[in-house]
């Protein structure tokens, strides 16, 4: 399974020190260089150190990707969607408009909550650490689905 990740998910995972977990859930996790450009130097180094595979965006992708763009979708997100669709990869995205557009184009898409659930299922994270992630996301104001956070908090019996 190949995953491709958007900027928002990287920020969600970074906010709870969860960047190293995503590469453990798949054969390969790809991140476009344009996504890394949005992350800044320090976070980019963390992403590289965690084992994400950097993919350089060639000019030939720009026009087809822009064809996927909408008013609510950035050029970077359109490139991420184009790459996922072109490579039949699973898109891991926290950005709402990107998730909706991906679903409309038949791309399998999941978010940070899915990463947390998979990490728990694969015993890569302990329930108490997952509870701390959920609390961290709530405290930091990350825009994640409240109903999914509540479901996991109840399942884990978080305090």
Q: What is the pLDDT of residues 56-78, one digit of tens each?
A: 999 999 999 999 998 899 999 99
pTM, full prediction = 0.93
Q: Are 27 and 111 in contact (CB under 8 A)?
A: no
Crossing angle between the packed helical segments 146-156 and 127-140, to the nearest 10 degrees: 150
31/69: higher pLDDT: 31
In percent, how much of the chain has pLDDT > 90? 86
How high is the pLDDT of residue 159?
79
Contacts of 79 (CB under 8 A, 6+ apart): 32, 34, 57, 61, 62, 65
- Across the range 95-108, mean pLDDT stands at 96
Structure tokens at 41: 């130097």
Q: State the chain's mean pLDDT as an integer.
A: 94
Q: Are 105 and 68 in contact (CB under 8 A)?
A: yes
All structural domains of the chain, each given as residue ranges with its CATH number in brackets, are: 2-112 (3.40.50.1010), 123-156 (no CATH)
CA distance 1 to 55: 16
**Are β-strands 90-92 and 109-110 bridged in parallel, bridged antiparallel, or unpaired?**
parallel
CA distance 109 to 9: 12
Q: Is the pLDDT of residue 49 over 90?
A: yes
**Are β-strands 2-5 and 109-110 bridged in parallel, bridged antiparallel, or unpaired?**
unpaired
How high is the pLDDT of residue 42?
96
- Across the range 90-107, mean pLDDT stands at 96
């Amino acid at each position: 399974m190949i995953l491709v990740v958007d900027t928002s998910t990287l920020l969600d995972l970074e906010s709870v020190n969860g960047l190293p977990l995503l590469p453990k859930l798949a054969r390969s996790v790809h991140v476009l260089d344009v996504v890394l450009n949005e992350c800044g130097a320090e976070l980019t180094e963390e992403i590289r150190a965690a084992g994400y595979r950097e993919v350089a965006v060639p000019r030939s992708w720009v026009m087809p990707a822009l064809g996927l763009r909408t008013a609510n979708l950035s050029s970077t997100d359109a490139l991420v969607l184009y790459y996922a669709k072109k490579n039949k990869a699973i898109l891991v995205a926290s950005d709402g408009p990107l998730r909706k557009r991906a679903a409309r184009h038949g791309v399998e898409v999941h978010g940070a909550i899915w990463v947390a659930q998979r990490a728990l299922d694969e015993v890569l994270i302990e329930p108490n650490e997952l509870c701390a992630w959920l609390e961290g996301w709530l405290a930091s104001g990350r825009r994640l689905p409240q109903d999914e956070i509540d479901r996991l908090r109840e399942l884990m019996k978080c305090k």
